[in-house]
Chain A
Amino acid sequence: MRLSTFTLNAVLLAGCQPRFDENEGLVTTARVLAVKSEPAEVKPGASLALTALVAVPPSSAGAPRPTWCFCNAPKPPIEDNAVSSACLDATSLLPAGEGPSIETQIPGNACVLFGPNAAASGLRPRDPDGTGGYFQPVRLDLRSAVPTFHLQRVSCPLADASSDIATQFAAAYRPNQNPRLMPLVAAVDHQAIPLDPLPKGARIQLQVSWSADDAESYAYFERSTQSVITRREAMRVAWYASSGKLDAEATGRAENDLEVTTDNVWTSPDSPGAVKFWVVLRDSRGGTDFAEYDVSVLP
């Protein structure tokens, strides 16, 4: 067993990569940036509310309405993406609603199709993600935008652990809760300034925070040792703006980092005008919160 040659080559070649001058945090057309589910983690068959953050830059007319579908195609292990390529095919989709927010019910077979419960004995249980989670894919379509997939965390039992471990896990595991995003704060040269209005052509430090409880501790079944351990969520913030330039598209804290703030720098445009900010906070188990800010850049 040797190192994946693909990976090794990828690393060796990394010095000669083309530059695409990407500004991923720049939103120039309407698109879905995030989906928040309430509650953040549900059992199969349970009701939940899904709300999409549809970003529309100031120059665009009205927000388009997303359509929602559940995908019922499990992802073959040979596929690298988070959802099966069959979810791009209408035959694998079940309509769930329309509009920026819907109330729906998670399909009752979610743990069979996307979790560890095998449809028949002798089948390989599906592998969880790095936090032990299983996810029901939900597709959102927005006019003239690429499809978006929300992955809804589903509470499924441990299928590949002994009964005492499964009992211990069930007693210790707390379903995920959405984090709460604190208001965005701005500063120039480390001096706090109001978020609106903002000076033009300036490097503005932005900071968001969350409470210490938002980075939840959770029970995790470690397969290499066949034991239940406690881990802590990593927190990640995705930043978007309708103009200007963000230093980083995303920042955050790894699971061993106890800080509850994260910073970015936004270089405001040289011309005045209305600007929108969108900030999305995600925990590593799929919990989400987001906020949208309308600001103006001074002449």
Chain B
Amino acid sequence: MRTLRGLSLAAFAIATAFAGVTSAQVPTDLQPVPEVVVSGARPARDASELKLNAAQARRAPGTQGDPAKVIEDLPGVTRAPFGSDQLVLWGASPRESHLSVDGVEIPQLFHGSGIRSTVNGALLQSVTLTPGAYGAAFGRGIGGLVRLETRDLPRDGTHVALDLNTLDASVLISSTLSERVRVAVAARYGLLDRTLSAVSAPDVGAFFAVPRYRDYQAKAQVGLRSGESLEVTVLGSGDDLTRFVGSSDPARSEKLDTDSSFERVYLRYRRRFDDGASVEVVPWLGRDTNRSTVVFGSVPADLGQRSLRFGLRAEHRSLVAEHATLRLGMDFDGTDADLSRAGSLLIPAREGDVAVFGQPPGDDTNADAWQALALDVAPYATLDWDLGPFTLSPGLRCDGYLLETSRKTPRVGQTPAIGQAALDAEFEPRLAARLRLSARVALFAAAGLYSQPPAPADLSAVFGNPALGPESATHVSFGESVDITSSLSANVTGFYRSLADLAVRAQLPTPKLANALTSTGQGRSYGAQILLRQQPWHGFFGWLSYTISRSERRDSPDASERLFDYDEPHVLTIVTSQEFNDWTMGLRFRYASGAPRTPVIGAFFDERDDRYAPIFGEQNAQRLPSFWQVDVRFDRKFLLGQGARLLMYLELLNVTNRANGEEYAYSRDFTRRGVITGLPFVGVLGARLER
């Protein structure tokens, strides 16, 4: 293991050296050009990419002023259940999609309850969603991409933005320290626990786990020479959740105690050369921490993970011919994780598990502690080639994975651990093409191969499989975009994803040793999405998005196909916003099919545990009720003088107070079924002060 870690560090050194070579090309003239503008052939943009300006997204109803939350309203995105942070893009499990800020991977986009994003919206420039079939610059994910870009800091003076609402309070302060140096700091603290305890019974936490969250950011921007800039950014986020339900029956007391956090520090160096070439280098370092304890009765389940994260993205872009731009890059990512786990094999739950809401986990227990190292060195190249109305972007990415675990078999006594290491190379060609039929109409298509390494948590010799390899996928998308007017556009996209080598639970009654998970899962999802989008026009903006899709999974090649746990065939969202002088009114309507659930067709009595247990029918053969909800937003601007501006806003969520069914619950003997309903009519009142 130690030797292999040495090799890993060597790989890291090589990647860093690559960055050094790249940055050595920078000339030394000193001209203050803070903005980096990339020129060259126009890329055949990722077919399904959708980019939203953060300032506009912040005013969309239902986001509570959080631009990243607008992702939930875009095509290709499955509606997440109430109180969930799950992001399902084109039928991909949440873990299969790649989330990044300025190209730096973050583990979670939303705080655990899905209430807020983990990055302060006031610091964001744009939110970009690519549900699949993206280019070679990104990888390590067989689902989609969500990219947040932080904004350039204001060029003069000191600015403050304060936001206080019923969910949280946040502040952003930015200042220009000199002609070349600008800094900003931001912080947010969740207030929902205090808000609820003020309006509810003091012991509300015993019945409803109130999420507590916080995040902070800092950014410094330094203008160097002509066309050259350097940024340093710090991101941090934390969540915790506690719930304890005591009982006179020791078998029915429940406890949940979790906390998770991540931190990232990264440099972002950008440089544009006189010949139109450019370079961007982003080395980063971070830490992820997760801990949870779940106790049902006397059976505890503990999970703990501390990971050192590090990586480097470097890209050189140059005009290699009059109409051809070549992008050469390196995407390096490393995770060095210490993990421990105790409890049932079935906690945490995985996609494909069959259970009903509130069902206690199995009482089988085990324990393991292990280390895992995952390195991915991924050089890539993409050529953006303009051939008149036709733009072609072929690309190739090669992900070289090194996966190490400290034990390849379960621990027995004090016997020394024998580790496991595997090298895997995945060649992933990507291709995007765009054909402009007229000034207003274009056809586009994209396809590619994708892979992602197994999660360190899946590499346990007791609970997982240390020999798991990368999961893989093929994406294909195609469609047409039409600019109906200068601000109104329509986009229709068809997509197909096939998945292979997915890590799934072993289906055998007695799996092989260290094979509780196997790489036998397969899947596919296909469908079409429509986006009709009105850019800001006379104070109005909005969009209609509709996705029809089907997602299926198979746990082994000879198993029957079943619906994916998150499959929602129809998702419709309408977002509108209209300004009337200082007033803005917005409305959001959402409709989504219910997610699949496995029916309970009977029960038996488990005498030892003194409880009924469900007998299940065909997996995922029924659905939750369909969901629809209407949200309204009002805001009012007040100019306070001396450059100060106050924005008061009120978001009314679920104004029709529809009782949307979010889950099925059963009586203890499973003879009766009820529906757990989600968010009732609720208002979020807030004020934002900017100067």
Contact = CB atoms under 8 A, between A and B. Distances in A.
Binding between chains A and B: yes
Interface of A: 1-20, 22, 24, 31-35, 73-85, 88, 118-119, 122-130, 135, 140, 146-151, 160-165, 222-224, 226, 234, 236, 238, 248-255, 257, 262, 280, 282, 284, 286
Contacts of A1: 290, 303, 305, 339, 341, 348, 455-457
Given A1-B455, A76-B509, A148-B604, A14 B208 contact: yes
Contacts of A126: 364, 510
A160 B410 contact: yes
Contacts of A162: 412-415
29 contacts: A1-B348, A2-B290, A3-B260, A5-B85, A7-B349, A11-B243, A11-B256, A13-B82, A13-B676, A14-B208, A17-B358, A20-B672, A32-B605, A32-B607, A77-B345, A80-B354, A82-B609, A127-B364, A146-B602, A148-B607, A149-B607, A151-B607, A160-B412, A161-B413, A162-B412, A223-B342, A248-B248, A254-B250, A282-B610
Contact of B363 (A31, A34, A73, A129): A129
Contact of B346 (A9, A80, A146): A80
Given A10-B357, A252-B250, A161 B112 contact: no
Contacts of A226: 411-414
Residue of A6, A75, A262 with most partner-chain B CB within 10 A: A6
A223 B302 CA distance: 13
Interface stretch (B224-232, B511-519, B546-554, B635-643): B511-519
Given A11-B241, A126-B364, A3 B303 contact: yes
B251 interface: yes
A282 B251 CA distance: 11
A85 to B, nearest CB: 7
A118 B292 CA distance: 32
Given A17-B665, A127-B345, A223-B367, A81 B362 contact: yes
A148 to B, nearest CB: 4
A80 B413 CA distance: 29
B207 interface: yes
A238 B249 CA distance: 9
Interface stretch (B180-188, B376-384, B611-619): B611-619
B226 to A, nearest CB: 45
Given A82-B609, A119-B510, A130-B299, A9 B663 contact: yes
Most buried by A among B347, B410, B412: B412
Of B249, B359, B612, chain A has the most CB atoms within 10 Å of the CB of B249
B294 interface: yes
A251 B613 CA distance: 20
Contact of A13 (B294, B357, B615): B357
Nearest to A150: B607
Interface of B: 81-86, 94, 107-108, 112-113, 207-209, 211, 241, 243, 248-253, 256, 258, 260, 290, 292, 294, 298-299, 303, 305, 339-342, 344-349, 353-355, 357-359, 361-369, 410-415, 455-457, 505-516, 602-610, 612-616, 662-663, 665, 667-669, 672, 674-678
Contact of A82 (B81, B250, B358, B613): B613
B608 A286 contact: yes
A238 B610 contact: yes
Given A17-B676, A130-B298, A2 B208 contact: no
B605 A6 contact: no
Contact of A3 (B94, B112, B613, B674): B112
Given A8-B209, A80-B354, A83-B613, 12 more contacts: A1-B348, A2-B290, A4-B349, A8-B241, A14-B209, A78-B354, A128-B364, A130-B299, A160-B410, A250-B252, A282-B608, A286-B608
Contact of B251 (A11, A148, A236): A236
A99 to B, nearest CB: 17
B511 A83 contact: no
Nearest to A21: B667
Contacts of A164: 413
A252 B411 CA distance: 35
Contacts of A19: 674
Contacts of B508: 76
A150 to B, nearest CB: 5
Contact of B510 (A24, A123, A249): A123
